[in-house]
């Protein structure tokens, strides 16, 4: 029995590390938005991540080519994530806050049973539906101020829910691709395809502003942290977690993302942490937990 517990320690470490990196990604993005526009951040982030992952595959001797019959499937997955997902996430962070953004993104596991029901005809329970309403209640509490005005701009909230929808559609593609390729291979190819999709948008709308930006140690280190830890290692660590304990139990760890974001936002970028925000986080986490608890029982 003791041996089993010892074997589980690395798995939980991978899960906690992935959630920490994803939680911190909202803080790192907020810092970079002071100097860069959203598309510029995404393009540079994906480019660095792609280089890192391809070098990792080459030097580890695990480089995989995508088979011809899977190219369109991979391309479709890259359209939804990283392209549409990161558009929604980064514009959401720009027009709301790091903590609110992370809380809305953390509702992805709540809606995954709905997508599974629509695409794979998997059953959706009353507890899943109840979890959705509880999470929506938590998000609403965080978004509505005491004077009944929105805490963030409406377009930011819509962008974030667009990111949630993109992630859900992406999961359908991912379910098919993970049966054929390793997580590192998929993330590397999806990120390079995403970077190529963002390239014309970057060149047309935002490249002219790059020259005026003063590049310093903080900017470079933040891009490296965002690219290597959040866009690369977090996905690999999460994939390892899913492999060991399954998707339902692994998704429970996503409850920690807004907690990490709220904690580090308070200390690193001085984002206020109120009772209202804490209540919203607890409700969202509770909603996600109810949904995942139901799937874990199954």
Residue-wise pLDDT tens digits, 244-285: 776 666 777 777 888 889 889 988 998 887 888 788 888 888
Specify the pLDDT at position 147: 57
Query: Which residue would you say has higher pLDDT here, 165 or 107?
Result: 165
Specify the pLDDT at position 4: 41
Place of tokens 């392209």: 83
* Average confidence score pLDDT of the chain: 84
pLDDT bracket for residue 149 (50, 70, 90): low
Report yes or no on 56 lying in a domain.
yes
Are the C-beta atoms of residues 57 and 119 closer than 8 Å to each other?
no
CB atoms within 10 A of CB 72: 9
| The pLDDT of residue 118 is above 80 | no
Report yes or no on 5 lying in a domain.
no
Sign of the alpha-carbon torsion through 86, 43, 13, 184: positive
Report the distance separating Cα 166 and Cα 35, nearest Å: 27
Specify the pLDDT at position 289: 74
Query: Which residue would you say has higher pLDDT here, 30 or 106?
Result: 30
HSE-CB for 183 with a 13 A CA cutoff: 13
Report yes or no on 6 lying in a domain.
no
Specify the pLDDT at position 245: 72
* 59 token code pair: 């030097």
Report yes or no on 199 lying in a domain.
yes
Specify the pLDDT at position 151: 63
Sign of the alpha-carbon torsion through 289, 87, 237, 269: negative
What is the C-alpha end-to-end distance of the chain, expressed in Å?
24
Domain total of the chain = 1
Report yes or no on 2 lying in a domain.
no
Report yes or no on 1 lying in a domain.
no
**Could you list the residue range(s) of the whole structural domain that residue 208 is in?**
11-297
Specify the pLDDT at position 10: 77
Query: Which residue would you say has higher pLDDT here, 94 or 297?
Result: 94
Report the distance separating Cα 257 and Cα 105, nearest Å: 9
| The pLDDT of residue 242 is above 80 | no
Report yes or no on 150 lying in a domain.
yes
| The pLDDT of residue 223 is above 70 | yes
| The pLDDT of residue 57 is above 50 | yes
Query: Which residue would you say has higher pLDDT here, 198 or 144?
Result: 198
Report yes or no on 89 lying in a domain.
yes
Place of tokens 């907690």: 259
């Amino acid at each position: 029995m003791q041996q089993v517990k010892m074997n589980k320690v690395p798995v939980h470490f991978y899960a906690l590390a992935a959630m920490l990196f994803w939680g911190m990604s909202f803080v790192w993005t907020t810092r970079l938005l002071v100097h860069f526009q959203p598309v510029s951040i995404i393009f540079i982030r994906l480019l660095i991540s792609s280089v890192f992952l391809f070098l990792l595959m080459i030097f580890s001797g695990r480089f995989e080519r995508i088979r011809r019959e899977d190219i369109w499937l991979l391309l479709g997955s890259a359209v939804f994530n990283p392209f549409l997902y990161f558009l929604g996430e980064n514009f959401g962070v720009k027009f709301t806050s790091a903590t609110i953004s992370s809380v809305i993104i953390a509702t992805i596991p709540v809606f995954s049973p709905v997508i599974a029901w629509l695409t794979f005809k998997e059953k959706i329970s009353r507890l899943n539906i109840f979890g959705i309403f509880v999470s929506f209640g938590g998000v609403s509490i965080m978004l509505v101020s005491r004077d009944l005005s929105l805490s963030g701009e409406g377009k930011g909230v819509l962008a974030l829910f667009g990111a949630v929808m993109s992630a859900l559609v992406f999961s359908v593609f991912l379910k098919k691709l993970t049966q054929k390729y390793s997580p590192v291979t998929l993330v590397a190819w999806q990120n390079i395809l995403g970077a190529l999709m963002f390239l014309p948008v970057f060149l047309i709308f935002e490249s002219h502003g790059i020259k005026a930006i003063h590049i310093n140690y903080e900017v470079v280190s933040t891009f490296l942290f965002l690219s290597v830890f959040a866009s690369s290692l977090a996905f690999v660590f999460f994939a390892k977690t899913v492999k060991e304990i399954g998707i339902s139990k692994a998704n429970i760890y996503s409850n920690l993302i807004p907690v990490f974001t709220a904690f580090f936002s308070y200390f690193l970028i001085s984002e206020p942490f109120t009772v209202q925000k804490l209540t919203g986080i607890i409700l969202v986490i509770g909603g996600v937990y109810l949904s995942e608890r139901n799937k874990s029982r199954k």
